[in-house]
A and B are shown apart, each in its own frame.
Chain A
Amino acid sequence: MNATSPQVPNNLVWAILTTLFCCLPAGIVSIVYAAQVNGKLAAGDIAGARESSDKAKKWAMWSAIIAVVGMVLYFGFIMAMGGLGALSGSSY
């Protein structure tokens, strides 16, 4: 790491983890922004690198949020179906 360049996290780990475990499209967008961080840092564009870093983080978070919301809806749906099943007297 160059001692004079400030550290701008590219949030790559989150991008990868959310691509694998959460929402693939948003995760990929996050990786693309993470890629921009390193490129802009290398070109000396610190402000641009910070902006891409924030966007990489934001897209990884959206990916995670979409996954969590999806799971909550899914389990809500399952429980609702289970409730309906119990009400209608089906037994299993």
Chain B
Amino acid sequence: MSPSLSRSRLTRWAPLAISASLATGAAVVLRHVSPYASNSPLPGCPLYALTGLYCPGCGSTRCLYSLVHLDWQGAMAMNPLLVISLPFLLLMLLNGAGVRMRALDPLMRVLASPMFWLVLLIGYAVLRNLPWAPFTALAPIS
């Protein structure tokens, strides 16, 4: 094995393991606590509270709450990009852990490009703040 490949198993799997445990923790909390409630103890986005702007992560808590309650429509209404990107983020974490499928290589090349994500996230942030249809569908309006 070449030195460049000698990263230990632990290091390779750590990001996936950390993400999985955080996701599990979030799922357990969100099974029981609803961010939709007006007196919800879950915090809102401080950026939104300060600026009134929707960032790419706005609506994520409600989106994940809907997801763990298998409410796809609710999840898509709150943060569609998050719903769509979650499986791809999982693929990236798996890829980092060394689970690679050759058929997915072209896809992984796009996903591994930081510029792609930069344009996607900033573009999404701009579009979801536009106050007319169809862009209002991107905003977490409940």
Contacts and interface: CB of A to CB of B under 8 A. Distances in A.
Interface of A: 3, 6-7, 9-10, 12-17, 19-22, 24, 28, 31-32, 34-35, 37-38, 70-71, 74-75, 78
Contacts of B93: 13
Nearest to A13: B92
Given A6-B4, A12-B92, A13-B15, A35 B57 contact: no
Majority SS at the chain A contact face? helix
A35 B115 contact: yes
Interface residues of B, number: 29
9 contacts: A12-B92, A20-B60, A28-B121, A31-B121, A35-B114, A38-B112, A38-B114, A70-B43, A71-B43
A12 to B, nearest CB: 5
A28 B122 contact: yes
B73 interface: no
Interface of B: 2, 4-5, 7, 15, 19, 41, 43, 46-47, 55-57, 60, 82, 85, 89, 92-93, 96, 112-115, 117-118, 121-122, 125
Given A3-B2, A20-B82, 8 more contacts: A7-B5, A12-B92, A16-B85, A17-B89, A20-B85, A28-B118, A31-B118, A37-B114
A75 B33 CA distance: 14
